[in-house]
A and B are shown apart, each in its own frame.
Chain A
Amino acid sequence: MTHTALTRSTLAAALALGLAGPAQAIEYGTLDTTASKVGFRYTQMGVTLDGQFKQFSAQLRFDPARPEAASTTFEVPLAGIDTGSPEGDDEVKAKTWFDTANHPVARFVSSAVKPLGGNRFEVTGELSIKGKTRPVSFPVTYTPGAPTATFEGALPLRRGDFAIGEGDWASFDIVANNVVVVFHLIAKPLAQ
């Protein structure tokens, strides 16, 4: 094969890929943990407070051409929790809250991704915190980008379902039962 022919066939291959659709060319598979943010919103006697999970990691696959095949296993080490106050940060590691000594990691494993139209999807899966596993589903908005894509959403949960806050804290009068995990994830293309 001559040099010219090689160039021509490479060009043809590139064009063919291009015709297949440029969006489909990227499959996302790596979470940019520095750029991503996972936080939570809780309510204390009518006051809304924001916390952050300082550490998290994920295995994920998202092919915009086949979103229903997407999957993720998301893990949050709970020792890196920032409740918004140093006193709170120590408290939530205790047995009555997350019991991080015995249950150091919260985990979400997806089981299905349903397109909701546009760039919105409903993600279903199982959330495990403090030894309790509950089915959850929540909406996610996907914003395509090159090289990174953004996934944003909110996962509402009830802390009582996971025994987060037992004993004196079990009453929802002071710290409300409803908590929302808010995430802004930046995904990089799958490593080739």
Chain B
Amino acid sequence: MEPRYTPTAITLHWLIALGITGAFGLGVYMHELPLSPTKLQLYSWHKWAGVTLFLLILFRLGWRLTHPVPTLPGTMSPALRLAAGAAHWVLYALMLAIPLSGWLMSSAKGFQTVWFGLVPLPDLLAKDAALGDTLKDVHEALNFTLLGLVVLHTAAALKHHFIDRDSVLTRMLPRFRKS
């Protein structure tokens, strides 16, 4: 049997993928809205999602560092393997940097982040409108970099499955029946 990712790693991968898709879509949609109660509500939800994802990603990173991952197929060239490994670490870095930049942006803009309206996160930066605008650009640039990498990641997974016909995609898919 082909080596697979652990069920925990698989669950975290797809849960975070779903969460990022939602938070990204929400972010793109909400920031153009005129000020309204709905806009404020969506911003809060986006920030709560960001904090939740940050914690999930920390846990996932801890799991990744303490659990071996299945090796890549020997048919891949060393250069491609190196590229695949690097791309994954950049993905992890972005997944941590994006919520952090959002948190810092909120602080700089003078809006504290209060997780689920209950747990206040400390403001790491004092209010500074110019810095807030810069961090907004940073948050946006990081997100579109992530989007580019996710497209690449998905394209690579599909190529492995449909062209190379190896188990790189399936070993990250949840298994619904015992075999």
Contacts and interface: CB of A to CB of B under 8 A. Distances in A.
Contacts of A46: 44, 114, 116-118
A138 interface: no
Contact of A85 (B110, B114, B116): B110
Contacts of A45: 40-41, 44, 114, 117
Contacts of B38: 168
A148 to B, nearest CB: 28
B29 interface: no
Contacts of A85: 109-111
Size bin of chain B's contact surface: 10 to 19
Interface string A144-173: 000000000000000000000000110101
A126 to B, nearest CB: 30
Contacts of A175: 37, 40
Interface string A84-101: 110110010000000000
Interface of chain A: mostly helix, strand, loop or mixed: mixed
A49 to B, nearest CB: 7
Contacts, number: 45
Contacts of B117: 45-47
B40 A91 contact: no
Question: Mostly helix, strand, loop or mixed at chain B's interface?
Answer: loop
A49 B110 CA distance: 8
A49 B44 CA distance: 14
A174 interface: yes
B112 interface: yes
B36 interface: yes
A175 to B, nearest CB: 7
A175 B35 CA distance: 12
Interface size class of A (residues with CB under 8 A): 10 to 19
A79 B120 CA distance: 31
B111 A49 contact: yes
A45 B119 CA distance: 12
Interface string B94-115: 0000000000000001111110
B41 A174 contact: yes
A6 B38 CA distance: 77
Given A46-B114, A49-B111, A88 B41 contact: no
19 contacts: A45-B44, A45-B114, A45-B117, A46-B44, A46-B114, A46-B116, A46-B118, A47-B112, A47-B113, A47-B117, A84-B111, A84-B127, A85-B109, A87-B35, A168-B37, A168-B38, A173-B37, A174-B40, A175-B40
Q: 7 tightest CB-CB pairs across the interface, nearest first?
A: A46-B117, A174-B37, A45-B44, A46-B114, A47-B114, A84-B110, A91-B35
Given A169-B37, A171-B37, A174-B41, 15 more contacts: A44-B40, A44-B44, A44-B111, A45-B41, A45-B117, A46-B117, A47-B117, A49-B110, A84-B110, A84-B111, A84-B127, A85-B109, A85-B110, A91-B35, A175-B37
